[in-house]
Amino acid sequence: MVRVHVVVHGRVQAVGFRFGARVEAQRLGVSGWVRNRSDGAVQAEIEGEPAAVDRMLAWLDEGPPGAEVTALTTTDLSPAGDHGFRVEA
C-alpha cells in the first residue's frame, strides 16, 4: 500500500472535480479524501495498491470534462489504513 497527497491546480473547481474523483476512486478501489482549497486548487490524499494509485493520479491529471488541469503536485505519505473515499467540504 502507498499513500500520496496531491494538489491539483488549474480550472478545477465548479466543474464536478471532487465528485468525479470520488466515482473514479471507488471504481479503482482506492481510499482517501478530496476537497477544495481556498486558493482555487483541489487537494486529495489517495491510498491503495501502487498501480491503482498511479491510475488515480492519471485521472486527477486530466480531471472530468470541463476541468483544465495545469499542474499536479504529489508528496508521498505513510499509509494510514483509510477505508472508503470521501468528499470533504
DSSP states along 4-66: EEEEEEEE-SSSSHHHHHHHHHHHHT-EEEEEE-TTS-EEEEEEE-HHHHHHHHHHHHH-STT
Active site residue 35: no
Phi, psi of 73 (to 5 degrees): -115, 130
Active site residue 36: yes
Q: Given 11, 35, 36, 55, which residue is catalytic?
A: 36
Q: Given 3, 18, 35, 86, which residue is catalytic?
A: 18
Catalytic residues: 18, 36
